[in-house]
Structure 1
């Protein structure tokens, strides 16, 4: 998941069209991995919450001390909160994946033609950012 920590150089070499497309693709892949991992955690925590709640019910039916039943119910509630948090993280990762895809598409639409013209030319081109006005 550390793919998104790519270097961003100020000299422009790491900020060319292909490099930016690669960074956005890495961001998308990482977001998908995070989404999938958070979904697995949420599923596991929901199962744990359900099991803990069932344990609390069985303990109450067995007339276990109320403090113990209460502690088990509290554990079930905490598992439930973790599951909801993981679902929230999963949703955020999914939104990040979609946003990175939109940015990647917009970047390709905006600069893809320029990149195609540059790569088709035999003339040596200036580094990205050279013509930027300050």
Structure 2
């Protein structure tokens, strides 16, 4: 149920933001466009969350990587880099599973809520 309401909220927010962003994008001059792209990239890296309970934080970008610990729905993360279907992340706060803030490791991309940059 949590996933459904989060998905509906995200869709509503994105839909509302898309309506606001469209006129601004049309009015933007070419000199402003690169700054907007740069801001979106920074937001992406720093505004993501874990999507599923019991997500394994691993030492390598594969299921054979050792398990550091588990993450839970809503744990805030920063995406540092991506490789295939995996993301190297850093915890922005202590996780619900007890992992400390700043802990780094690999998480399957399917277990991450895409960041909302608005």
Task: Please tell me the TM-score bracket, short chain as reference.
Answer: under 0.3
Structure number, greater radius of gyration: 1
Higher share in strand:
2
Higher share in helix:
1
Query: Which structure has the higher relative contact order (CA within 8 Å, separation 6+)?
Result: 1
Normalising by the residue count of structure 2, what TM-score does the alignment of the two structures yield? Answer: 0.27
